[in-house]
Structure 1
Amino acid sequence: TSTIELFVNRLDSVESVLPYEYTAFDFCSEKTMKRPSENLGQVLFGERIEPSPYKFEFKKPVVCQKVCTRTYDTNNPSDKAKLDFLKKGMLLNYQHHWIVDNMPVTWCYDVEDGQKFCNPGFPIGCYVTEAGRPKDACVVNSNFNEKDAFYIFNHVDITIYYHIVEHEQLGARLVAAKIEPKSYDNPNNDSPCTGGPKFLKNKHTGVFNIPYTYSINFVEDKNIRWASRWDYILESMPHTNIQWFSIMNSLVIVLFLSGMVAMIMLRTLHKDIARYNQMDSVEDAQEEFGWKLVHGDVFRPPRKGMLLSVFLGSGTQIFIMTFVTLFFACLGFLSPANRGALMTCAVVLWVLLGTPAGYVAARLYKSFGGEKWKTNVLLTAFLCPGVVFADFFVMNLILWGEGSSAAMPFGTLVAILALWFCISVPLTFIGAYFGFKKGIEHPVRTNQIPRQIPEQSFYTKPFPGIVMGGILPFGCIFIQLFFILNSIWSHQMYYMFGFLFLVFIILVITCSEATILLCYFHLCAEDYHWQWRSFLTSGFTAVYFLVYAIHYFFSKLQITGLASTILYFGYTMIMALIFFLFTGTIGFFACFWFVTKIYSVVKVD
């Protein structure tokens, strides 16, 4: 077909967490056409793709085509409310997101050092303050000089780049779509795209008209391959070069630290094991010290073993989900071109991974000597997912109250609950059934009477050890974290999943080694309470993540308004909880493997 359809997505802003549907701003809209279907990930992210009245015929340029005219009378309360909402959108720098052939329509402009930056969105308009200072996009035009006025971008020049496909029946492929927003007053309706820029005085009263127009041009470009048509957007993203350098720098530091930790562990343990295995006489045995002394207590069930096993079950579920999702993202299945694919993949995987969660929680709970298996499996299925869902539901109520497009429809909420109750919960019960059938056999017997723990030095006390344990893992991820937070809150595209997967592996290694090292120090100090401590040591990385997210909010973001602030911290709490379970589980299983290994290698009488 030679007709090119332009779709419109939600509008968002870096100054507000609340996205809005295209129709919320009373732009020219297409009522008759059916909306394209959206996947689960798009609905969860609040994407609302709709057809638009902007339709073009391939290779048929159009100059100043009128789309519609919106008329507002400030004496009419309904019109005044629409106009006020439009002014609020311009004040907060809300951005259009248009789509042609599944590509974002980009606004490319020059920045410092002769670089070109291509933004996958363009503003509704901009504001010039009472002092005459232009804000946001108003700085691009020196004619925007009316004080206390809103300038409306009511005209767009669209350029579509294509190349002809030879030896195929496809004809031509679109490889880029660029836009330049403009403002025209159109004093004479017979000749649109004339006059100075269109502005609305802040205290305007009476009737106000906004005519919307567009021009379209087609340019053949044989240099851009269809497979790499997104590259020009990704290459112009800010900080890309910094990201490459920072990740490599982080990788070198973390590998060096990991090597040091591994070397200390191997050398120290090798000496200890060799010394203990050479002890044959009773006199030697009486001179035992360090971790060998607590062999009769090291597998003693921890306090609150039920809660720990439930956390570990949920953490296992999150760990496998993250690993598989990032692996698929590395292969290119979940790129920005596949809208919502990342979130859809993560949710579906989480639902299907109920079995490992139930199995791990049940098996560990049985090894802790627990007998309330029904309570255990119910908590595994409902506690952590329930906390996340409750937080998410409250955030959804706020979005719904604000009329945001990110508010999830009731039907989608019911669908998510159905996935949880009808698939995830039964799978958790199946996993728990197999987990309870088989416990864990420990390499050493547990004494009936607990050994008294001697007075601990400062660094082997629980709290300092836990606080120290989270520093190294956080140090290896905080640079990557900055770019992830940018992609979520500053609406920048995140596409470097290969590096993210690498950082994920580094995080797993660092959490494991830091926790093992501290666990060894505690066992040498004759403190055998390692289970909760190992979980909290690496889990404390989530506390550093939370502190960094708070710092990011106050130092990097321009978010204003109570609702946006509550939403930011509400969603951050969900991320922190998931990260806490994920890192805590890594630390626990690393220590579990380590403790089991050393007490099975050493001859214990």
Structure 2
Amino acid sequence: MLWSRSLAISCICLFLFSSHTFAFYLPGVAPHDYERGDDVKLYVNSLTPLMGSHQLKSLIPYDYYYKPFHFCSPEQPQSQSESLGSILFGDRIFDSLYKLNMAENKTCQYLCSATVPSEDAAFINARIKENYAINWLIDGLPAASRKKDLRTNTEFNSIGFELGDSVASFNNPPLHNHYDIEIQYHKQESANKYRVVGVIVSPTSNKYDSEEHARTCVTTSERLILNEKSDNTVHYTYKVVWTPSNIAWATRWDNYLYTFDPRIHWFSLVNSIVIVLFLTGMVAMILLRALHKDISRYNQLEAQEDVQEDFGWKLVHGDIFRTPANIMLLSVFLGNGSQLFCMTTVTLLFAVLGFLSPSNRGSLATVMLIFYMLFAFVAGYVSARVYKMFGGDAWKKNVFLTAFLFPTIEHPVRTNQIPRQIPDQVFYLRPIPSILMGGVLPFGAIFIELYFIMNSIWGSKVYYLFGFAALVFIILTITCSEVTILLCYFHLCAEDYHWSWRAFLTSGASGFYIFVYSIMYFMTKLQINSLTSAALLVTSHALHLSERFL
């Protein structure tokens, strides 16, 4: 009775004091409260190409204050502190001349005038035709342009806004030199504070006859087109409108993280699960039936008095753990692959739990690099143990330092001194055909989600569906394991004991198909004429191919 009374009192106390509890935001970005009239900083970021009409024309980002653009710049632009991941992803954030005050509208603001020489005009026109976008940041939110999904008629915010009008019917495209900035804010009624919850920029091309007209935003009926044969004068202006919004600060990223037809992701997931279930059933059926049949046969032979010769996979038991060729290289590959696997697993776990928010710029790449360094001991340990397991002599050359010395795998049988002759193999069990066959199913389980990831990487978009990515990664791991087990068993049944390299290459063969898929993506989705962009893309996918093999 006393215990029940104490429990009731505790519950009442928790209820009474619940309104005074505090919480924290996992990604580590706290809301910034403003009062009316407070300065709101506008930061500029690198210009990046957008994927227009489902095609990307360049991959190279440019600093906002890159001289040929002739944007309005402070005398000494101050670079903002960035994370390592943000820098690696191309962010170059600086302050700007734009003046914003919380909840105070500004109808016409003159920024500056710039003289653009003919050669720089050609450079700017080329970037407009390549669909480059300007990127701003206000209170940590990227400036976006309002777009509409034609399938569902749903409006969403697309990060960045066009440098110029790339679809205009002119020989040279118009340059946007006036920006209508709409900033959405949410008012905290209890504290009379304001929070930024949305930034929409609508750029236009206005031709001003003089600086006086630009200061009053008196435009002509013409659009601003840069002449590539003479110098040009460009006047930059902007307008600021503050709009109250019911969007809470915690959900302000929802309009930026728009998913085009989410049914495709579910179809990809169901497709991957079906492949895994099919492969699991096939592996289980083949192995259970074959092993049960072989073991029953061997038990019958042991009961007979006559000595019978072994056959099938039992013939190679004395050669199964023979040291493979290039064991040093194989052990190093396995060690690095283990390191990458641990890094990917833990990174996806953090992403699924919500620690890697898009509001914390570059957090994904930073976390990946940190975990890659932290799991270096895994690479050293696995590499050293595999090398020693196969009887390597120069183990000191294999790894600089093995961090842990845990018990490892011990061979259950001895290796014959004389290698057994391997009979001729059927075509589909030869090295190259079997390895290529082994990569088909893992690739089939991930290629749909891979398309969206490539769009996010090369299209300067935010990828946030880490739940799908984690499930696809798990499915990929299971599929690779089952395919490798199945093909290794077939090789052993064919009396081929060279399983070590094939086991490694079979699971990594999906990387070859990913590379081929990347080339097809390059040919069908990109219109890149720049040699630098093409080299950047091919090199990046070649590195991904090597990482996938590991």
Alignment of 1:429 with 2:401, yes or no, is: yes
2:121 aligned to which of 72, 78, 83: 83
Alignment of 1:173 with 2:232, yes or no, is: no
Offset at 1:469? 0.5
Aligned match of 1:533: 502
What are the Cα deviations for residues 140-194 of structure 1, in whole angstroms up to 9, with x where unaligned? xxxxx5x313311111111111111244x47122111111111111225243152
* Shift in alpha-carbon separation, 1:45–1:302, aligned structure 2, 3 A: same
Distance across 1 between alignment mates of 2:347 and 2:481: 21
Alignment of 1:263 with 2:285, yes or no, is: yes
What are the Cα deviations for residues 473-530 of structure 1, in whole angstroms up to 9, with x where unaligned? 1110111111111111122221101110000000000000011001111111111111
1:71 aligned to which of 94, 103, 115: 115
Offset at 1:71? 2.0
Aligned match of 1:597: none
Aligned match of 2:155: 116
Distance across 2 between alignment mates of 1:496 and 1:543: 25
Alignment of 1:289 with 2:311, yes or no, is: yes
Distance across 1 between alignment mates of 2:142 and 2:284: 47
Contact 1:545 1:576 in 2 (8 A): yes
Aligned match of 1:8: 44
Aligned match of 2:135: 97
The code of the aligned residue for 1:101 comes to D
Contact 1:150 1:202 in 2 (8 A): no
What are the Cα deviations for residues 110-165 of structure 1, in whole angstroms up to 9, with x where unaligned? 453433343101111135xxxxxxx2xx3xxxxxx5x3133111111111111112
Aligned match of 1:350: 372
Alignment partner of 2:341: what SS?
helix
* Shift in alpha-carbon separation, 1:370–1:247, aligned structure 2, 3 A: same
Distance across 1 between alignment mates of 2:228 and 2:307: 90
The code of the aligned residue for 1:198 comes to R
Aligned match of 2:519: 550
TM norm structure 1: 0.79
The more displaced of 262-271 and 89-98 is 262-271
Contact 1:149 1:199 in 2 (8 A): no
Offset at 1:261? 2.4
Alignment of 1:209 with 2:233, yes or no, is: yes
* Shift in alpha-carbon separation, 1:284–1:273, aligned structure 2, 3 A: farther
What are the Cα deviations for residues 198-236 of structure 1, in whole angstroms up to 9, with x where unaligned? 32254442x4211111111111112x222121111212x
Offset at 1:349? 1.2
Contact 2:135 2:159 in 1 (8 A): yes
The code of the aligned residue for 1:367 comes to M
Aligned match of 1:220: 244
Extract unaligned runs of 5+ from structure 1.
73-78, 128-134, 139-144, 378-427, 582-605
Contact 2:44 2:136 in 1 (8 A): yes
Distance across 2 between alignment mates of 1:179 and 1:161: 11
Offset at 1:257? 2.9
The code of the aligned residue for 2:64 comes to Y
2:225 aligned to which of 181, 194, 200: 200
The code of the aligned residue for 2:390 comes to F
Distance across 2 between alignment mates of 1:218 and 1:92: 32
Alignment partner of 2:96: what SS?
strand
2:438 aligned to which of 449, 453, 469: 469
Alignment partner of 2:402: what SS?
helix
1:503 aligned to which of 472, 491, 495: 472
Distance across 2 between alignment mates of 1:485 and 1:465: 28
* Shift in alpha-carbon separation, 1:490–1:284, aligned structure 2, 3 A: farther
1:107 aligned to which of 135, 139, 145: 145
Aligned match of 2:536: 567
Alignment partner of 1:563: what SS?
helix
Offset at 1:270? 3.5
Matches within 5 A, 1:10-29: 10-13=46-49, 14-24=56-66, 25-29=69-73
1:45 aligned to which of 61, 68, 89: 89
* Shift in alpha-carbon separation, 1:285–1:15, aligned structure 2, 3 A: farther
Aligned match of 1:386: none
Offset at 1:275? 4.0
2:275 aligned to which of 253, 265, 282: 253
Contact 2:125 2:172 in 1 (8 A): no
Distance across 2 between alignment mates of 1:193 and 1:251: 61
Matches within 5 A, 1:159-558: 159-167=182-190, 169=191, 171-188=193-210, 189-190=212-213, 191-205=216-230, 207-222=231-246, 224-235=247-258, 237-277=259-299, 279-281=301-303, 283=305, 286-377=308-399, 429-431=401-403, 434=404, 440-558=409-527
Distance across 1 between alignment mates of 2:382 and 2:306: 40
Contact 1:150 1:200 in 2 (8 A): yes
Distance across 2 between alignment mates of 1:187 and 1:109: 32
* Shift in alpha-carbon separation, 1:527–1:28, aligned structure 2, 3 A: same
Distance across 1 between alignment mates of 2:222 and 2:288: 72
* Shift in alpha-carbon separation, 1:539–1:81, aligned structure 2, 3 A: same
The code of the aligned residue for 2:219 comes to T
TM norm structure 2: 0.87
The code of the aligned residue for 1:564 comes to S
Alignment partner of 1:57: what SS?
coil
The code of the aligned residue for 1:568 comes to L
RMSD, matched Cα: 2.1
Offset at 1:285? 5.9
Aligned match of 2:14: none
More helix by share: 1
Offset at 1:59? 0.8
Distance across 1 between alignment mates of 2:532 and 2:179: 32
Distance across 1 between alignment mates of 2:77 and 2:321: 66
Contact 2:118 2:229 in 1 (8 A): no
* Shift in alpha-carbon separation, 1:293–1:550, aligned structure 2, 3 A: same
Contact 1:294 1:526 in 2 (8 A): yes
Alignment partner of 1:54: what SS?
coil
* Shift in alpha-carbon separation, 1:273–1:538, aligned structure 2, 3 A: same
* Shift in alpha-carbon separation, 1:283–1:311, aligned structure 2, 3 A: farther
The more displaced of 558-567 and 453-462 is 453-462
Contact 1:363 1:438 in 2 (8 A): no
